[in-house]
């Protein structure tokens, strides 16, 4: 009798695990969907931001002369990298390393916005 019940319990647990596995799979595929959606939204958001800043630049051109409009293409690239949280200065070979806690770096800003005699 006892042995029989033990076996039944095993069957029950097996069923339970199978059910859990299948729900795992559904959750996983759901999550993949959400992540994809998130990436798409992020890209769309970036596009919208770009569009927005473009519009802002057009409307308030004289307000802030330091805005991207005056930067050369290569400086804009550096600015983009900096804004993503990386060093663009090369003090002690730091170029491309992560800015700790996104703290500002005076050397990077000088490279991006500073005057440079060529």
Smallest separation, CB 98 to another protein (Å): 11
Query: Does 89 participate in binding another protein (rule CB under 8 A)?
Result: yes
For residue 94, with 0-12 CB atoms within 10 Å meaning exposed, 13-18 middle and 19 or more buried, which class applies?
A: middle
Q: Which tokens hold the place of 108?
A: 């990077």
Q: Does residue 11 sit in helix, strand or coil?
A: helix
Q: Is 81 annotated as a binding residue?
A: no
DSSP states along 20-71 = HHHHHHHHHHHHHHHHHHHHHHHHHHHHHHHHHHHHHHHHTTTT-TTSGGGS
- Single out the residue of 57, 75, 95, 107 in contact with another protein (rule: CB under 8 A): 107
Query: Does 64 participate in binding another protein (rule CB under 8 A)?
Result: yes
The stretch near another protein (CB under 8 A) out of 5-13, 18-26, 27-35, 85-93 is 85-93
Q: Which residues here bind another protein, judged by CB under 8 A?
A: 64, 66, 83, 89, 91-92, 94, 100, 102-110, 113-114
Binding residues for Zn(2+): 87, 89, 105, 108
Binding residues: 87, 89, 105, 108
């Amino acid at each position: 009798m006892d042995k029989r019940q033990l076996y039944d319990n095993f069957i029950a647990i097996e069923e339970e695990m199978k059910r859990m596995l299948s729900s795992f799979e559904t959750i996983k595929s759901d999550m993949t969907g959400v992540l994809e959606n998130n990436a798409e939204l992020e890209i769309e958001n970036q596009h919208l931001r770009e569009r927005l800043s473009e519009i802002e630049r057009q409307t308030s051109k004289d307000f802030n002369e330091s805005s991207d409009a005056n930067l050369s293409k290569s400086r804009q690239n550096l600015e983009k990298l900096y804004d993503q949280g990386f060093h663009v200065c090369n003090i002690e070979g730091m170029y491309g390393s992560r800015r700790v806690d996104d703290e500002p770096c005076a050397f990077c800003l000088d490279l991006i916005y500073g005057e440079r005699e060529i």
